[in-house]
Chain A
Amino acid sequence: MAEKVLMKGNEAIAEAAIIAGCRHYFGYPITPQTEIAAYMAKRMPKIGGTFLQAESEIAAINMVYGVSSAGKRVMTSSSSPGISLKSEGISYLAGADLPAVVVNCQRGGPGLGGIQPSQSDYFQATRGGGHGDYHMIVLAPASVQEMAQLTIRGFELADQYRMTSMILADGTIGQMMEPVSFDFDIKEAPEKPWATTGTQMKREHNVVNSLYLVPDVLEEKNFERYEKYALIKEKEALAEEYLLDDAEIVIAAFGIAARVAKNAVNAARADGIKAGLIRPITLWPFPEKTFKKALGTAKQFISVELSMGQMIEDVYLATGCAVPVTLCNRAGGMIPSPEQVYEAIKAAHGKAGE
């Protein structure tokens, strides 16, 4: 049994990144994710790495672009307003097919919003956020252990598919402490023959670029990228299923919302209501197959979210609106209680029984 240490979620992300071989981190202070920068500031100089507090989130993401161009594993982190600023750079990373890991420890919005936990950047994360046709791989941890595990997975997927992995956490998981084990098998980063590491006068120059002025060439680039996305949708979608086999009322919830919802599912089961839970771990690609499977027994889906209802649109799409889908939510930094979710399950059960 591997040793476990008690750690904050944000710190677990930072340590996991270092274990994954990330030696370059660029950040800018913003609540509630600053522990990541503080941890990196302490650790990186001790292991020959680079921690740099950039002049802005925009500069930080462009430093990420530079390190990634040079073929090294690199990470930045921020919270919602800062991710909006990074979105320009994330679009360029996508356009140049560069791997990177970006952490969004979400807080309430829009605008400056608040500093309490939220899931209201779901659209921004799963639809791209910046301009142009692109996606990120979006991973949604629900525990401190998963903060570590999915960060490492994020680096592997980013390198494998040459794209950005986003860790879409929230202020709760970032701030809370849980025991975490760092006993991971780390895959070596693949060769990066495309990287700008200097020609050494031995090859043609490498160019990292997202500009294609000839429209049919740019179209072809987009087609190629979407072939890659189709492969990722096929291979990488991931969800936790909880009491799903016979579930009539199916909760869809990710991150901290899923932990609340699990309590409500247990309470409903104790009352004889066949409730179950799908917890998407990858938000993009969305685990559509799990939802289609659940349609075998489901009479209603309830999307439990810390937002005004964003993932619910993917639940509609994945289920083809075959059965009703309702929303159970809080927003602005508030978290639904297990009782609120339980009431939603009971109401759905009553309606389904009519």
Chain B
Amino acid sequence: MERLVNDMVVFEKPHALTDVPLHYCPGCTHGIVHRLVAEAIDDLGIEGKTVGVAPVGCAVMAYDYFRCDMIEAAHGRAPAVATGVKRADPENLIVFTYQGDGDLASIGTAETVHAAARNENITVIFINNAIYGMTGGQMAPTSLPGQVTQTSPYGRDVKQCGYPVKICEMLSMLDGPEYLERVAVNNVKNVLKAKKAIRKAFQNQVDGKGFSLIEVISACPTNWGMTPSQALKWIDDNMIPYYPLGVYKDRSAGLIPGAKEDK
């Protein structure tokens, strides 16, 4: 019997990822986003001058997974750390942070808002899965109204603990940031859009345009108490209606919310 031999490589791991096995749960979408970040780094040929800043949360060990230089920051402080790194060598370094919703939208809100307001020339990858994953499923600043978590066992009661924080909408009101986009990674079409957005967020930095943040609506089947496929569907049915996907600000393309037309 004749065997078909094809030595053409059709798929491989991005160079910017190490060979360390990821520790994420089955069905978690961190792995997809790690890959998209690594692909952007590979595409732009910037691995040798990139420094990543890992958060506290599920992605805390991202410093083991990316092959570029990495820094582990205190909880919520990654944008401040990234500001320091970028200012240390703005001509030669590409700096990104990778943060979850507790890190970026709760304890680190001030650092996020002010890095955006300063238009720091950094790239922020924001994983919004509406829950604290690493500590076992507590209510996040982005947990949906009514969402059951370990610390909202009767569902998030907006009268008692308020409403979710919509980061892209909030930051889009600032004059500072260059680019804000919300994407999701729950199906192939969305993953491809997310890939494009993340690449643009790095390209903007290479071009010196300033602060780019990509909010990635992600799945946490373990702490949502779902199977991986149920979790992907839950994103479509519940997350995306509350967190609409799309570009919220793109200064270079003239998309500036609230800008006066007669400017």
Contacts and interface: CB of A to CB of B under 8 A. Distances in A.
A62 B72 contact: no
A202 B48 contact: yes
Contact of B73 (A54, A56, A65): A65
Interface string A157-196: 0000000000000000000000000000000000000001
A66 B84 contact: yes
Contact of B74 (A68, A70, A92, A206): A92
Given A92-B74, A198-B93, A205-B70, A63 B47 contact: no
Interface stretch (B75-83, B203-211, B255-263): B75-83
Contact of A197 (B61, B80, B89): B89
Contacts of B69: 196-199, 205-207
Nearest to A88: B74
Most buried by A among B67, B93, B111: B111
A196 B87 contact: no
B60 A211 contact: yes
A318 interface: no
Contact of A69 (B47, B50, B68, B81): B81
A196 B67 CA distance: 12
Interface in A86-111: 88-89, 92, 96
B227 interface: no
A209 B85 contact: no
A332 to B, nearest CB: 31
Most buried by B among A70, A89, A200, A206: A70
B117 to A, nearest CB: 8
Contacts of A96: 72
B51 interface: yes
A163 B201 CA distance: 35
Nearest to B90: A50
A208 B70 contact: yes
A66 B83 contact: yes
A52 interface: yes
A25 to B, nearest CB: 11
A210 interface: yes
Contacts of B110: 55-56, 58-59
Contacts of B74: 62, 65, 88-89, 92
Given A196-B70, A198-B92, A70 B49 contact: no
Contacts of A24: 84, 87-88
Contact of B68 (A52, A88, A199): A199
Interface in B86-117: 86-89, 92-93, 110-111, 113-114
Contacts of B83: 52, 59, 63, 66
A63 B82 CA distance: 7
A51 to B, nearest CB: 10
B68 A198 contact: yes
Contacts of A55: 110-111, 113-114
Most buried by B among A55, A196, A202: A196
**Chain A interface size, under 10 / 10 to 19 / 20 to 34 / 35 or more:** 35 or more
Contacts of A196: 51, 69-71, 85
A72 interface: yes
B125 to A, nearest CB: 17
A62 B73 contact: yes
A202 to B, nearest CB: 7
A89 B77 contact: yes
A70 B53 CA distance: 12
Nearest to A58: B77
B71 A72 contact: no
Contacts of B89: 70, 72, 197
B63 interface: yes
A211 B60 CA distance: 9
Given A55-B111, A199-B48, A209 B71 contact: yes
Contacts of A205: 18, 66-70
B54 to A, nearest CB: 8
Contact of A64 (B67, B84, B114): B84
Contacts of B63: 207, 209
A201 interface: yes
Nearest to B72: A209
A341 interface: no
Interface in B40-63: 47-51, 53, 60-61, 63
29 contacts: A24-B84, A24-B88, A50-B87, A52-B83, A55-B111, A59-B110, A59-B111, A59-B114, A62-B80, A62-B81, A63-B80, A63-B83, A65-B71, A65-B77, A66-B81, A67-B84, A69-B81, A69-B84, A70-B93, A72-B89, A88-B74, A89-B77, A198-B92, A199-B68, A201-B48, A202-B48, A207-B71, A209-B63, A210-B72
Interface of B: 18, 47-51, 53, 60-61, 63-64, 66-74, 77, 80-89, 92-93, 110-111, 113-114
Given A198-B68, A209-B63, 4 more contacts: A58-B110, A70-B89, A205-B70, A206-B69
Interface of A: 24, 26, 50, 52, 54-56, 58-60, 62-72, 74, 88-89, 92, 96, 196-202, 205-211
| 5 residue pairs, one from A and one from B, having the closest CB atoms | A66-B84, A70-B88, A62-B80, A196-B69, A63-B84
